[in-house]
């Protein structure tokens, strides 16, 4: 596609429920990243995928968070048993490779009530 696409754009969920956030990177981009941005703050790295290599999960805040990337393209970030502190905007980005410029999607605003 023309840009990085994320869905849904907004998600309101009850505490304790699981959510799945989707990211479609730019076609041909081998690197894909997930970040979290809490209100009024900078970005917090979560995880990145590069080609067929094992993902770097070092930024995932707890074992309730997981992500996968199928077929080297679409990625899903899953948050299990959501907590109120998970409320944030989740941003996905992709780049041609790890050293290239990153292009960000519009984000998914997650609100846990």
Partner 1 sequence: ELKVEQNPLFLSMQEGKNYTIYCNYSTTSDRLYWYRQDPGKSLESLFVLLSNGAVKQEGRLMASLDTKARLSTLHITAAVHDLSATYFCAVGTNAGKSTFGDGTTLTVKP
* Contact residues: partner 1, CB under 8 A: 31-33, 41-45, 48, 50, 56, 58-59, 91, 93, 95, 98-107
CA separation for the pair 104, 3 (Å, rounded): 8
CA separation for the pair 62, 88 (Å, rounded): 15
- Measured in degrees and rounded to the nearest 5, phi and psi for residue 91 equal -110, 140
Output the smallest distance, CB 85 to partner 1, in A: 19
Output the smallest distance, CB 101 to partner 1, in A: 5
Residue (9 or 18) nearer to partner 1, CB: 9
49, two tokens: 């995928």
Output the smallest distance, CB 81 to partner 1, in A: 26
Residue (76 or 103) nearer to partner 1, CB: 103
Place of tokens 């490779």: 97
């Amino acid at each position: 596609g023309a840009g990085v696409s994320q869905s849904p754009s907004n998600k309101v969920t009850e505490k304790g429920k699981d959510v799945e956030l989707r990211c479609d990177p730019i076609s041909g981009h081998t690197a894909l990243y997930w970040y979290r941005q809490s209100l009024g703050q900078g970005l917090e790295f979560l995880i990145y995928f590069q080609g067929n290599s094992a993902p770097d999960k070092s930024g995932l805040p707890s074992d309730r968070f997981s992500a996968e990337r199928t077929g080297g393209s679409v990625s899903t970030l899953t948050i299990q048993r959501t907590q109120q502190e998970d409320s944030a905007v989740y941003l996905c980005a992709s780049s041609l490779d790890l050293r290239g410029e990153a292009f960000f999607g519009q984000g998914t605003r997650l609100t846990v009530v």
